[in-house]
Amino acid sequence: MSRDAPPPSAAAVDGSTFRVGIVAACYNEALVNALLTRVLGALHAAGVLEKNIQVLRVPGSHEVPWVAGELAQRRGMSVVIALGVLIGGDTNHHEMVGQSVSQALQQVALAHRVPVINGVIVTDTLAQARARCTGKIDRGSEFAQAALTMAALKKTFS
Ligand code: DLZ
């Protein structure tokens, strides 16, 4: 049985030729900004050039997929990263929005053949969100590593 090569390790990825689109929600802004800072730090560390990173802001996570779709259509886009923080309240609104955003982001990726990283965090409490955005659970770096891996993988198909 033949096996395809494993995906490129993000640690070994040279990002200097990548074009990265980032869409980030403003809702829960401090937490999303913390995620964004960590994402940008990891992208820069991998050699992604500032001029090749475009960041757009939207009101809330619900608006993220539409802009992700616009970014995915830009010429030469390597990967799109979608960032948001959905925190539970008295209802399960956050779970419903989280599910629809997740599905819409997959549709964007498949329709435009550009990888889309789902960096929309869904938590029940503010403490859980803080741990993932500003604390020890470094989701921002994880999202960046996933983006670098997928951008490198996309390059192998072109
Ligand atoms: C309305 C709303 C609420 C209640 N909670 C959040 C949230 O936790 N995280 C988030 O990113 N956005 C939230 N929003 C805003 C919606 O995503 C959206 O911006 C509005 O419903 C307008 O379409």
What average pLDDT does this structure show over 27-36? 98
Give phi and psi for 106, each to the nearest 5. -65, -40
Quote the ligand 1 centre to 103 CA distance (angstroms): 17
Quote the ligand 1 centre to 145 CA distance (angstroms): 26
Q: Which of 23, 39, 26, 37 is nearest to 73 (CA)?
A: 23
Looking at residue 93, its pLDDT comes to 87
Residue 105: which region, alpha, beta or left (left: phi > 0; alpha: psi -120 to 50)?
Answer: alpha
Condensed to tens digits (0 to 9), the pLDDT of residues 72-83 reads 999 999 999 999
What average pLDDT does this structure show over 133-141? 95
CA 99/CA 152 separation, integer angstroms: 27
Q: What is the pTM of this model?
A: 0.94
86 lines ligand 1 (CB under 6 A): yes
Domain ranges of the chain: 19-153
Quote the ligand 1 centre to 97 CA distance (angstroms): 8
Token representation of residue 63: 């608006």
29 marked as binding residue: no
What is the residue-averaged pLDDT of the chain?
94
CA 41/CA 31 separation, integer angstroms: 16
What average pLDDT does this structure show over 134-148? 96
Condensed to tens digits (0 to 9), the pLDDT of residues 43-78 reads 999 999 999 999 999 999 999 999 999 999 999 999
Q: Which CATH number fits domain 19-153: 3.40.50.960, 3.40.50.2000, 3.90.1310.10, 3.30.70.3000?
A: 3.40.50.960
123 lines ligand 1 (CB under 6 A): no
